[in-house]
Amino acid sequence: MSTFQVIKRLLGEAKPLAGLMVAASTAGTIGHLAATFLPVFGIIAGFALAGNPVTTTIVYAIVAATLSPWMVLALIAAFTLLASSFGPTLALAALPANLTQTFAFARRLFSLMDEAPGVVETGTANSDYEGMRLDHVTFAYPGEESEAILADFSLDVPQHGILGIQGPSGRGKSTMLKLLMRYWDPQRGQVTLSGTPLPQIDVHARRRIQAMMSQETHLFDGTIRENLLIALPESEIRNGGAAGVLDARLREALAKASVLDLIDSLPDGLDTQVGELGDRLSEGERQRIGLARVFLRNADLVLFDEPTSRLDALNEAIILRSIHELSKSEQNADKGQDVAVVLVSRRESAMRVADAVLNL
């Protein structure tokens, strides 16, 4: 669930969805096999549990055969009745646990399906990037309406250059970025993109314009290569797959994020498994791979939320230089338009690359 925002920010819905369909198909196959063979295992278990009574019955039958044939028939009938009762008894014993588990799964699933989205995307307008604005917005998180994070707040995001935002925790720096990405709508005021209110703009058009790196970097259970490729459209992956062109592009992004040397030192390189949520990597390594993912996006507006918070001074300097170079790269050749960057950080050193700084 925590990776959904990452998928949306990177316009990568298709690739995880394809993987989910494969995983669901595999789970369905395993479930079918389990439903087929579990009854067989139940029968075997039933006979195993019946082993002691069977052994006892055989001994009694041998003894009884020396006394009376009628006693042998009685013992056979008793054994048949006893053996036939084990299957139903075991099934009844397991039924409450199975039903409880099924109902628990159903409650969680229905609760998720009934969850109302934070915002409803119905916009149809398209727009080039010509700046963004928070226009007298007031915002409080759901359930905390009495404590507004932003109150009658306005901010102009320029069409190009680096806007630095600095201040202590709790001042709403990260909240501003989330409003610009339209994770929520403000209770009052509005957020505009190129003069158009965000709710009126097509969500896919908006996401093509924007890219964001949040404070927490979420990686998917897979390889480093797979975690980078999610930032690229399928068409670019297909067109750039020949002659190592795609790998060269990935390596360039990793170099900008000051993590290429680490990747090259790993035995499997780009094909190294990162583990669930990237738990095989350190926080700083995950953060730099997340930065490389953003550098691959080619967005018009890039939002960075504490991009160097877990890095030492050397790696911070390399990444800040890359962010400065990113802001000077030309994304719109027709207009000669550079990339706009919003850089949120508590570090004074990060503000050195900013063209303008807002202190909160």
CATH code for the domain defined by 122-359: 3.40.50.300
pTM: 0.71
Q: pLDDT tens digits, residue range 297-337?
A: 889 999 999 998 888 888 889 889 999 988 887 654 444 56
Choose between 51 and 198: higher pLDDT.
198
Nearest to 211 by CA among 307, 118, 108: 307
Identify whether the C-beta of residue 139 lies closer than 8 Å to the C-beta of residue 164.
Answer: no
Residues 46-99 have pLDDT tens digits of 555 555 555 555 655 565 556 566 666 666 666 666 666 666 666 666 666 666
Give the Cα separation of 155 and 135 in Å (integer). Answer: 7
Beta bridge partners of 125: 201
Residue 358 has a pLDDT of 93
Q: What angle do CA 107, 1, 238 make, to 5 degrees?
A: 130
For the chain, what are the domain ranges? Answer: 11-113, 122-359
Can you point out the beta strands (E) in the chain? Answer: 132-139, 150-157, 161-166, 188-193, 196-197, 210-213, 301-305, 330-332, 337-338, 340-344, 356-359
